[in-house]
A and B are shown apart, each in its own frame.
Chain A
């Protein structure tokens, strides 16, 4: 990441800036982790919409628990899985705020399933960024609700056996069945083209809130190179070749569109 103080050599023009709403804090993520990309896309959306001084983020439990350090916006750290309930409380208390939660697959699709489904069903006017990397990253790589069939994790050492542990939960498809949500989409950030698409989706999910359209969720199918035990380029390929087969990309619900 280029720092604000980076010297620009003579004859060069600085073209890549840190978004205003990102702080100077260094990411605590592992090399190649997709959280960093998603985090930046959120900051770009906040900057583009000019909402830095009215945005409140909700940090989950998991690798993104330190999220509050990375932004120059107000932040609340929620209990594991409860981010959508906390976001509901904030938004109802002060509808002028722009409230977003940032949650992993364990947080949103296992322990927080009820809070997620009901916030979506109420059409709560919040923005949810859901990073699905198919594993519990922070606790050491256990099986997540989204772990692929056959995928090895520390709690599925022989690979996920669907007869014992069920199938990966496609929660975005589930939510898309509800009348409440305004926008449910699945994106990825494993290459530049997809990063640009994810960027537009995140921007839309925030804009929806400003326009009072209601619950918007962007799922990002992401890589956890550390727990996949793959170098970042191979981890990106793993997402494209394996995860996206189970989690196809695209808009699942766009209300009125």
Chain B
């Protein structure tokens, strides 16, 4: 293990390189500039390809090409840039190509601003582009966790042939923390990709497609995707619980808000309020089951997000009316303080 002091953006880049990243394609956008710059500096030295594309559209299609050629590949951006990548992401999903996409979310809609936000939850977890597909969506709340989840993203993406997204925000990208990083993966340990386009030498040609004009066959292609998604839902749901055993109020929050919510839980407990936290780590697949289970004995499930209530919809789907489901959110890049969230907790815990 190597111990390094890194910003979130840098930790993601370093973890990606250690995951065997071969090709990284990008287009500059704040707040993920350090990620791009780290890659420009480090990746070519370590045997990889760094290329700054002419647009996010081009960058994601370069990822599509590199993934088709069978290497570990990644792109990163922030909200408006991720919107531009949606076409390519849908094609990656349709063609079953593994790749990692990093979204360091900022305020939206439109050009928005460069402050931390979580307004891209719907886009990330419900498809984002056209067609019936999902990404594996991982939401780190600390810098070390960001590094871990990048490695996991490459692994899961390869295993299931489903693109994976790291959904974080500008706050995590800028934050510095010590990170323990494992040594680079052994390239031999990266799964073989017999389907990749590597030249039809001694085998029939490989073809990477995301279409079939014949409806019955396209349906079958879709069913393969759906079966894969069901398998991911069975195997890969990840979440963290804190002080849920005796909770009278459960906070559900992810990423930066999940981190702030931990402080809120500790302060609430000091004041005699039995607050608990469930922090989804995979946003897709979403931890419906653990929230459902907790909602059977916790009367209030408070969702806290940097949005107008996007994950809130999934929380309510999990709770299904078994508990009260209030929501507290901030918009436009405003980040609530623990004190503000605590007063919401008090209001709902006692009310």
Contact = CB atoms under 8 A, between A and B. Distances in A.
Interface of A: 52-56, 58, 65, 68, 71-79, 82, 85-94, 96-97, 114-115, 117-118
Contact of A90 (B22, B69, B91, B210): B69
Interface residues of B, number: 40
Interface string B64-91: 1111111101000000000000011001
A67 to B, nearest CB: 10
Contact of A85 (B65, B197, B199, B210): B65
A85 B62 CA distance: 5
Contacts of B25: 89
B349 interface: no
Contacts of B69: 56, 89-90, 93-94, 97
A93 B61 contact: no
User: Considering the complex of A and B, which 7 residue pairs feature the smallest CB-CB distances, nearest first?
Assistant: A89-B65, A85-B61, A89-B62, A93-B69, A74-B197, A53-B201, A118-B54
B218 interface: no
Nearest to A95: B49
Nearest to B58: A85
Contact of B65 (A52, A53, A54, A87): A87
Most buried by A among B54, B70, B202, B209: B54
B208 A82 contact: no
B51 interface: yes
B55 interface: yes
Contacts of A115: 54, 57-58, 61
Interface in B197-253: 197-202, 205-211
A76 B207 CA distance: 6
B73 A93 contact: yes
Contacts of B63: 89
A82 B58 contact: yes
B263 to A, nearest CB: 43
Given A82-B88, A86-B65, A72 B200 contact: yes
A97 B199 contact: yes
A88 B50 CA distance: 12
21 contacts: A53-B202, A54-B199, A58-B65, A71-B205, A74-B197, A74-B200, A76-B197, A76-B208, A79-B64, A82-B57, A85-B58, A85-B62, A89-B65, A89-B68, A90-B68, A92-B51, A93-B49, A93-B66, A96-B199, A97-B69, A97-B197
Nearest to B51: A92
